[in-house]
Structure 1
Amino acid sequence: MTPEHVAAWAATHALSPLQIDCAVTVMLKILDGKCKMPAQEKVVMALLYDRIKHLPGQLLDHSVHELIESARNADDEALKNLIYEKRLLAETAISRPVMKSFKAMIRAEGLLPAKTATDSED
């Protein structure tokens, strides 16, 4: 999937503030190394994050974006630990059903490929 495809998808799929929080949480999970998505899906989610990071979330404040930007540009153990802590807080704030619904929606709407029976959850 190309950056242009992700941009077009984002332009035609208005995400709710809670879905914005879900996308940010996935980005945190990618950065702390706990995301089990295939590498190409991680790239797509990072591209989606770049498209929505300016939009307001419902539960997460804007300071998380500064942290994400720092973590993307540095390989620092203390920063990784902070990302991990922020991700845990985000996952605690967002219920599992909400996160699962977000992931199902982005698959159903064609941003990511449909899951198969052998795919693991991320």
Structure 2
Amino acid sequence: MNYSIEHAARWAGQHLVDPVHIDCTTTVMLKILDGKCKMNEHDKVVIGCLYDVVKNRPGKLIGEEYHALIEQARTAMDEALAMFIYEKRLLAETMISRPVMKAYKAWLRDNGILCRPQDAEEA
């Protein structure tokens, strides 16, 4: 079951409080912006919504520099900025372990925020 974007925003307001989850949300947002994300379009919109809810909350490892970069990319993306975002996303992914990122995405799926892989074609 996937909830509406509005539900995802409410859910994020209540549940996305762990600084590690803030970092994961920011990193996935970077991956969406650099064009390397393989999520379906609905989930990309959901991540953007989650990010908007938590972008002013403190992360554990990822700071304001990344948020300013995301804001810039959302308003005026060009090829040079896309390459810079790609580099920053790779750096962010080295700071967050793969198991942590996988657990974060599974948590979102378990809570109905993101599609399960078998549901991706239906979204």
TM-score normalized by the length of structure 2: 0.89
Give the superposition deviation at 1:10. Answer: 1.1
2:76 to 59, 74, 77: 74
Summarize deviations over 1:20-50 as a string: whole Å, max 9, x none.
Answer: 1000000000000000000111000001000
**Structure 2 stretches lacking a partner, 5+ long:** none
**Residue 61 (1) aligns with residue 68 (2):** no
Query: Deviating runs (4+, > 6 A) in structure 1?
Result: none
**Partner residue in 2 for 1:19:** 21
Superposition map of 1:34-113 within 5 A: 34-113=36-115
* Bigger helix fraction: 2
TM-score by length of 1: 0.90
Q: How many residues align?
A: 118
Is the 8 Å Cα contact of residues 12 and 53 (structure 2) preserved in structure 1? yes
Superposition deviation, residue 15 in structure 1: 2.9
Q: Distance in 2 between matches of 1:79 and 1:53?
A: 20
Structure 2 letter corresponding to 1:59 = L
Q: Is the 8 A contact 2:25 2:51 kept in 1?
A: yes
Q: Residue 113 of structure 1 aligns to a residue in which SS?
A: coil
Identity percentage of aligned residues: 56
**CA RMSD of superposed structures (Å):** 1.5
Could you tell me whether the CA contact under 8 Å between 1:24 and 1:53 is conserved in 2? yes
Q: 1:65/1:88 Cα in 2 relative to 1: closer, same or farther (>3 Å)?
A: same
Q: CA shift at 1:112, angstroms?
A: 1.1
Of stretches 93-102 and 12-21 in structure 1, the one that deviates more from structure 2 is 12-21
For 1:20 and 1:64, the matched residues in 2 are separated by 12
Structure 1 Cα separation of the partners of residues 23 and 13 of structure 2: 17
Check conservation: 1:31, 1:83, Cα contact below 8 A.
yes
Which runs of 5 or more residues in structure 1 are unaligned?
Answer: none
